[in-house]
């Protein structure tokens, strides 16, 4: 890729009379992108797709903590680079054109560190039925990246503990299968076997998660619980279920997960909506 970057910079200098400052900025941004691609074992420009481009912008925003303006500048450099490659018949389409710069320019919600997540997951009192319920909900939210509405509206029949899958009905009533990790499965089983019957008190409910009154958990109630537990473990900023979902996706990407797989788990229809 380095050879193509050198040719692109020479093209900008000769054909467009780009200033040394502009060439330095382009070179810096493209060198960072080349290093990111190498970390993903991609060194052929023909193998670069929109997922890789968005993954790079994610890294710049979340790990490098650059501003939205800098992230957009990075993408402008990539768009121009890939446009040049198309003109040179090196690639068939511009992958950077498939990523929405307007969405990337929005302020991103803060994520929890993995240490903060660990503290939050361990906050509920497991000696009480509602504590066991909350533990299961937090573990599931972090392990699956579900929307809070999907979590609280989850029906009992949508949970398959034998194979560790959830059948989730998301936006526009689109169904998807979401895998659960061993930890989340363990706590969900504990809740269903021990705590849920005590919360229901012989009442019937199709909802997986119920309140002390035996009624289905609501978004508002769970939002308050998450913030309460956060404050209890010393997380000073206000947190929400959405931040835990966002943290799930960010931590997966930071540990090398494929962006398209994360996109599918989140239930996003296209890459540009995966604003991580």
Sign of the torsion angle spanned by Cα atoms 31, 37, 43, 45:
negative
The least confident of 20-24, 53-57, 129-133 is 53-57
Of the pLDDT bands very low, low, confident and very high (cuts 50, 70, 90), residue 30 is very high
Start-end of CATH 1.10.150.130 domains in the chain: 2-104
Q: Return the CATH number of the domain spanning residue range 114-273.
A: 1.10.443.10
More confident residue, 170 or 238: 238
Mean pLDDT along residues 82-101: 86
Quick check: 238 pLDDT over 70?
yes
Q: Tell me, what's the pLDDT at 276?
A: 40
Tell the CATH topology of 2-104.
DNA polymerase; domain 1 (1.10.150)
Regarding predicted confidence, which is higher, 111 or 208?
208
Residue 147 pLDDT > 50, yes or no? Answer: yes
Mean pLDDT of 11-37: 90
Between 210 and 176, the higher pLDDT residue:
210
Residue 170 Cα distances to 95, 175, 176, 206, 208, angstroms: 27, 6, 8, 18, 16
CATH 1.10.443.10 boundaries in the chain: 114-273
- Check residue 267 and give its pLDDT: 57
Give the Cα separation of 242 and 245 in Å (integer). 5
User: Residue 237: pLDDT above 90?
Assistant: no
Helix (H, G, I), strand (E, B) or coil at 257: coil
Q: Is the pLDDT of residue 143 over 60?
A: yes
Average pLDDT, integer, range 51-56:
83
- The number of C-alpha atoms within 13 Å of 263 and in the hemisphere containing its C-beta is 17
**pTM of the predicted protein model:** 0.58
């Amino acid at each position: 890729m380095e050879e193509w970057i050198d040719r692109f910079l020479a093209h900008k200098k000769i054909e467009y009379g780009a200033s040394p400052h502009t060439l330095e900025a382009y070179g810096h941004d493209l060198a960072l992108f080349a290093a990111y691609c190498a970390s993903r074992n991609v060194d052929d420009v023909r193998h670069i797709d929109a997922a890789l481009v968005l993954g790079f912008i994610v890294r710049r925003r979340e790990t490098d903590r650059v501003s939205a303006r800098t992230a957009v500048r990075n993408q402008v450099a990539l768009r121009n680079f890939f446009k040049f490659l198309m003109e040179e018949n090196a690639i068939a389409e511009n992958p950077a054109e498939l990523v929405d710069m307007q969405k990337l320019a929005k302020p991103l919600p803060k994520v929890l560190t993995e240490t903060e997540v660990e503290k939050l997951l361990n906050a509920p009192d497991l000696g009480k039925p509602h504590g066991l319920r909350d533990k299961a909900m937090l573990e599931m939210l972090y392990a699956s990246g579900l929307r809070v509405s999907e979590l609280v509206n989850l029906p009992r029949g949508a949970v398959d503990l034998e194979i560790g899958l959830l059948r989730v009905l998301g936006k526009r009533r689109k169904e998807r299968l979401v895998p659960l990790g061993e930890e989340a499965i363990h706590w969900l089983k504990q809740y269903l076997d021990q705590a849920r019957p005590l919360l229901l008190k012989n009442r019937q409910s199709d909802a997986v998660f119920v309140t002390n009154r035996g009624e289905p958990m609501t978004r508002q109630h769970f939002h308050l619980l998450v913030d309460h537990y956060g404050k209890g473990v010393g997380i000073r900023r206000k947190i929400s279920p959405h931040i835990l979902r966002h943290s799930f996706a960010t931590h997966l990407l930071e540990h090398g997960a494929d962006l398209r797989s994360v996109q599918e788990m989140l239930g996003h229809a296209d890459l540009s909506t995966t604003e991580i």
